Amino acid sequence: MDLFSNIKSTNPPPFPDENANVTKLYDADPYTAFSEDLEFMWRWTIYRDRKLVQEGCSLTLDASRRAVEHVLAFFNISTKNLRQGELS
């Protein structure tokens, strides 16, 4: 039995439109991040050029902000290293 045979492929969530019930956490080209209150947790999503690159969940809106900041700090370091040719 293939280890990944039970994993179902899902479509990533689309970039929220103006009417979406989300909180914008970050918006600086090329990244935008949102958080959505699901009542039992906050779901956060990070988009690069309007394409989903990372998603997760947190118990509070503040924890969502910290998680997004942490991920974006890594992305920015990685992006700078790629531009300098340090990562392949």
pLDDT tens digits, residue range 8-27? 667 778 899 988 999 999 99
pLDDT more than 70, % of the chain? 76
- pLDDT the model gives residue 13: 82
The per-residue b/e assignment along 56-83, b for 16 or more CB within 10 angstroms, e otherwise, is: bebeeeebbbebbeebbeebeeeeeeee
Among 22-26, 67-71, 79-83, the least confident range: 79-83
Q: Name the pLDDT band for 81 (thresholds 50, 70, 90).
A: low
